[in-house]
Structure 1
């Protein structure tokens, strides 16, 4: 069965592209072309925004009751749940996520988001009456923000689409989704499910494209809000455009998160936990905790345990259920990670496992060797810059105060963990580290709670009522003062 496509989803129909430009989807494992799909241009973006604009300004969706929109999204959720395996397979094929991770997170987590947002929407204060300070009642309404440009990255494509699409739909917005060129296949299945669920024409429009078309979408006068997940550099550029236009914007950006290992932590379960939080999705995750902080007195034990854990991980074909570390998404990403491994050595850090070169037994694909650096100073570039690959830096600290200082000594503030046998001590650390999310002896994303970052890790929040509110404007309606 071919995965090739020849149209975009615009206005509720499969629309012919404006040009014959194509995106080649290349397997990161085999380096072979697995699909060809249209590449969006400015003209395609214009058509998608026009469809979304008409659907918002003239269509039924924003004028439905919240309960009516909830019913349609419920139907979509049921269809999505029935297609989790197919969705996970598409993502593994297009961007190389290990199938174990794809079936754990790439498709189940987006479905869990849908269900969580539905629960929030059922209880959300869409319209409430308040007693005003002047004595009259005030009606406070949450109304849809308008046409939303949703721009997800390639690493967790459905996860980052759903965090924008579902709250936007429930709020009554219409949406233009611009998938990344590396991961254009999964949105086609999503579009089919939305169509089957009864989402009206023009409410969701999907055009896969590169940066130029993406920039055109961000600056488009028909767009009321931009929701972006990606690099901090791209986020700064998008934020500047939205600031100039006074356009609503939410940005979920990069991270360089720290995992603090306290001396009383049991290293066995700690290493199992770190294996996931530091190397999930082959290290291609914004929340990856790639700075491992260990006390000087316990430093060698942590380094040895981490090196043993990482060196035992299975690297290889992402379609193999036994694989824990797959390829990088593209050759450019492989080269980027290898440059950081070389840079770490130049900076004086010591490779304790991994290093440059292809992993054993592999002679093709965009793989790198999972690498652990010891003797890392937090000022080194490998400790300050987001590498987005399976490269970990173990950094020594003097005491708990020093560990917190090092964890906070970063431009980013997205995630983090502390590992300890003393839960209260862990909570104390958690309250002191300046990040948007934090875990004590675990790390997860609970879709009932807000997710987002401090500092250069972004603006705004996703998930929970806070995430739904990002897609609304708040209106106050004043009623007449009581007579007398």
Structure 2
């Protein structure tokens, strides 16, 4: 008997949706269909492929209100904010489709007496995308649309927590008229997905998730020469310099820390503030956080929903408890958030001060509504502390002096450096990370390099 894959809603603990898992053999058949379909898909002119993919984007826009409510029920984001994910999908997908011709253009080399002398980017074949629940449309979009535009077939294995988002992608591509087999859902268990990777049915894999699972998938993939892109954990820092607009920095950093209940790979999880503005900054942060409203995410007046599960909430609660036991001070009273309850995913936001790097909350990825704030004496101290992490996705610097921000950024061990901004993906810039955050690249023209292979053409004519 096949296993049952369930999405347990953090809203009320009910089984919101469940599906029967595919068998291993059914999974293998999906890859075989993808391989057969991809050969024809790649021959369709690029303009026709991107037009079809654009119609799939239209589907998401047309159904955005229903999809937003589905997201709220599946993973807990307030419905008032969930619709923004569809807008983000549209922005990223249309951008990536718009640059496809440029990104896939062949190199124009001097012929040097030859009939043809060029380098072309050609599809890899079948791209397996393994998507997470926290931004279930956006993270999948980063890989799916450029992979399909480049002529690959795509198989999507979506998180069990957001099953309906995977089905929305399938519906969108069907509505757009995509040939059968070019895009498919892989409804397998996590164990069977890893086994299929080990059997090397794919030509490339893209995974977004935890460091631990990323390591397991990399090991499974090691038996073949197929590529694998890994976007893994983060513990992203912000640094507020003495010359910063403190009110602006506090407002933006709080949003970067607590949006989506802190469940963002590039969310702000630790803040370093120059001692000259530290007290002012902390006071402003606390005032902003206290204004959040925690509750049922389907209520349009709620601004902070539950985290994805009680297990996730308990992990964050444990970090907070350990930090306080080691001398940290918690500045938010959970009683100010009546919806917060032990043994549930409803977790009050928390701001911690008097923290150190000897505390788990400042070194482990929290993935929840908590942030630690430390005072620093100088740029050098801030740089040292920000780089003192196993992760390296983004860094955020808040200052009026952009020349100094650039100098600091050059010293940062990270994939993206922000100045006076955080927790945002610009589709024109490469999204990548260092250290345990993983490897690979999505977005920008550089993403297409990971989803294609180079082929050189060297033709000369025969003599008469």
| Offset of residue 427 of structure 1 | 2.9
Residues 354 and 370, structure 1, Cα contact 8 Å, conserved in 2: no
Residue 389 of structure 2 is aligned to residue 407 of structure 1? no
Range 285-294 or range 237-246, more displaced: 237-246
Deviating 4+ runs (over 4 angstroms)? 132-137, 362-365
Range 156-165 or range 127-136, more displaced: 127-136
1:115 is aligned, of 94, 101, 105, to 94
Q: In structure 1, what is the Cα distance between the partners aligned to 2:214 and 2:3?
A: 26
| Offset of residue 20 of structure 1 | 4.7
Q: In structure 1, what is the Cα distance between the partners aligned to 2:407 and 2:22?
A: 49
Residue 34 of structure 2 is aligned to residue 34 of structure 1? no
Matches within 5 A, 1:213-224: 213-224=192-203
Match of 1:7 in 2: none
Classify the secondary structure of the residue corresponding to 1:127. coil
Residues 448 and 465, structure 1, Cα contact 8 Å, conserved in 2: yes
Range 206-215 or range 331-340, more displaced: 206-215
Structure 2 runs not aligned, ≥5 long: none
Residues 114 and 459, structure 2, Cα contact 8 Å, conserved in 1: no
2:180 is aligned, of 160, 182, 201, to 201
Match of 1:44 in 2: 26
2:427 is aligned, of 414, 422, 447, to 447
Matches within 5 A, 1:22-421: 22-56=4-38, 59-104=39-84, 106-131=85-110, 138-354=117-333, 359-362=337-340, 365-421=344-400
Residue by residue over 1:63-119, the C-alpha shift from the partner in whole angstroms, topping out at 9 and shown as x without a partner, is 222222122112222222212222222111111111122112x22111212101111
Provide the alpha-carbon RMSD of the alignment.
2.2
Residue 411 of structure 2 is aligned to residue 432 of structure 1? yes
Match of 1:8 in 2: none
Q: Structure 1 residues 188, 347: closer, same or farther in 2, change over 3 A?
A: same
Q: In structure 2, what is the Cα distance between the partners aligned to 1:265 and 1:133?
A: 57
Q: In structure 2, what is the Cα distance between the partners aligned to 1:262 and 1:296?
A: 9
Number of residue pairs the alignment of both structures matches: 461
Matches within 5 A, 1:445-484: 445-480=425-460
| Offset of residue 437 of structure 1 | 1.5
Q: In structure 2, what is the Cα distance between the partners aligned to 1:40 and 1:388?
A: 30
Range 437-446 or range 40-49, more displaced: 40-49
Residue by residue over 1:106-142, the C-alpha shift from the partner in whole angstroms, topping out at 9 and shown as x without a partner, is 2211121210111111323432331378988521010
Residues 114 and 460, structure 2, Cα contact 8 Å, conserved in 1: no
Residues 428 and 444, structure 2, Cα contact 8 Å, conserved in 1: yes
Q: In structure 2, what is the Cα distance between the partners aligned to 1:411 and 1:239?
A: 18
Residues 351 and 371, structure 1, Cα contact 8 Å, conserved in 2: yes
Residue by residue over 1:249-271, the C-alpha shift from the partner in whole angstroms, topping out at 9 and shown as x without a partner, is 11111110111011122222211
Q: In structure 1, what is the Cα distance between the partners aligned to 2:9 and 2:385?
A: 38
Q: TM-score, normalised by structure 2?
A: 0.93
Q: In structure 2, what is the Cα distance between the partners aligned to 1:291 and 1:132?
A: 55
Classify the secondary structure of the residue corresponding to 2:67. helix
